[in-house]
């Protein structure tokens, strides 16, 4: 069986749900899932309850992660209508997350003046990550250009949005973007099959949108899971929350794409490791790596996952490529189906 060592993945977009919704996920279960997926570092979004918008909530979340995480981690600060002049002073955050479209959680900048204040005040040279859909992608790009900020567009999902990113890069503007596995591998047609489990934000695109993502990966800087677990009961409710788990399925799906000739191995590494580190200016430890069996063919199943929610929108998909071992800072952390480090092994990621 051919085995291959790859640089450990950095997943630049996860929702560990801790604090606030630990029945869905917590720092230990979520980072165990990360190791199972070959991920050595996660960047966690700030739309917790309470949201991470000031020093006390950041300190409390940092303590929880430090006590429970088994892989390395970084935390975002969240923008709200009232913290533009103070959030930039928070130490240790990997970036500012701004929500220009309404989505799950308590953070949303409802008007342009609030967004402008943040783009004016945020310290230069530190990334602003943006949830923007449709025409708000153009707004985010323009705000970054006007105020000299590095803008990272999260989970781009539409052909028209990616076209804007391409034009911005052609002009030399400081814009980066990510796409998700669920937007690369699923379309709105899958909603008919898996129903509310396919509900996410941004919603699944058309087959043409999906094709556009694959055709334009040259302008994409990172693939991130947007790991957003909810319980099956919540997803089956009359008003299901948006989001799907993805930490453990991202690498197998992408290795399958490599096996099928849709993606090169070099590009996989760029999109899942060196790319996200570059977007956020993170230092990488070359000793953090993952061993995969590229010939192992198997069927994805929620019952085999470490995520607390225990399901996947890719249930029943046959993939090729299994994580055997994951090392973090040269310490064996995951070995053939078992997490072999204790809670609290994970450390904050640092800037390069």
Domains and CATH numbers, the chain: 9-285 (3.20.20.140)
Residue 166 phi/psi, 5-degree rounding, is: -60, -45
pLDDT at position 65, please? 98
Beta-bridge mates of residue 11: 42
Q: How far apart are CA 105 and CA 157, in angstroms?
A: 20
Q: How far apart are CA 267 and CA 265, in angstroms?
A: 5
Q: How far apart are CA 65 and CA 347, in angstroms?
A: 8
Taking the chain (352 residues) in runs of 10, the rounded mean pLDDT of each run is 91 98 98 98 97 98 98 98 97 97 85 96 97 97 98 98 98 98 97 94 97 98 98 97 97 98 98 98 97 97 98 98 98 98 97 87
pLDDT at position 123, please? 97
pLDDT at position 2, please? 85
Sign of CA dihedral 71, 76, 77, 79: negative
Query: Is the pTM above the cut of 0.95?
Result: yes
How many Cβ atoms sit within 10 Å of the Cβ of residue 136?
18
pLDDT at position 104, please? 72
Residue 7 phi/psi, 5-degree rounding, is: -60, 145
CA angle 133, 155, 345 (to 5 degrees): 140
pLDDT at position 105, please? 73
Sign of CA dihedral 76, 328, 282, 67: positive
pLDDT at position 215, please? 97
Contact 302, 312 (CB under 8 A): yes
Sign of CA dihedral 295, 297, 300, 303: negative
Q: Go through the chain and tell me how many residues it has.
A: 352
């Amino acid at each position: 069986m051919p085995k291959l060592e790859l640089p450990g993945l950095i997943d630049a977009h996860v929702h560990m749900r801790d604090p606030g919704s630990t029945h869905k996920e917590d720092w230990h279960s979520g980072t165990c899932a990360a190791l199972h997926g070959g991920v050595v570092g996660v960047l966690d979004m700030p739309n917790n309850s309470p949201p991470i918008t000031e020093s006390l909530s950041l300190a409390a979340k940092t303590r929880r992660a430090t006590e429970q995480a088994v892989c390395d981690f970084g935390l975002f600060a969240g923008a709200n209508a009232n913290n533009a002049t103070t959030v930039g002073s928070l130490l240790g955050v990997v970036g500012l997350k701004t929500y220009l479209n309404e989505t799950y959680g308590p953070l949303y900048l409802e008007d342009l003046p609030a967004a402008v204040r943040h783009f004016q005040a945020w310290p230069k040279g530190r990334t602003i990550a943006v949830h923007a859909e449709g025409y708000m992608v153009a707004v985010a790009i323009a705000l970054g250009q006007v105020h000299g900020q590095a803008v990272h567009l999260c989970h781009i999902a539409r052909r028209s949005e990616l076209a804007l990113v391409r034009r911005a890069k052609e002009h030399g503007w400081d814009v980066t973007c990510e796409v998700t596995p669920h937007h690369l591998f699923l379309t709105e047609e899958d909603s008919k099959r898996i129903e509310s489990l396919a509900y996410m934000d941004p919603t699944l695109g058309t087959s043409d949108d999906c094709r556009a993502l694959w055709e334009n990966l040259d302008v994409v800087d990172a693939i991130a899971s947007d790991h957003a677990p909810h319980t099956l009961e919540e997803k089956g409710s009359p008003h299901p929350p948006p989001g799907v788990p993805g930490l453990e399925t991202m690498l197998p799906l992408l290795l399958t794409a490599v096996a099928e000739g849709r993606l090169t191995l070099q590009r996989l590494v760029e999109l899942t490791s060196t790319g996200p580190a570059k977007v956020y200016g993170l230092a990488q430890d070359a000793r953090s790596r993952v061993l995969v069996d590229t010939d192992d063919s198997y069927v994805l199943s929620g019952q085999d996952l470490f995520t607390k929610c225990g399901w996947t929108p890719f249930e029943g998909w046959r993939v090729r490529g299994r994580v055997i071992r994951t090392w973090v800072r040269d310490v064996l952390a995951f070995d053939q189906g078992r997490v072999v480090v204790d809670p609290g092994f994970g450390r904050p990621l640092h800037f390069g």
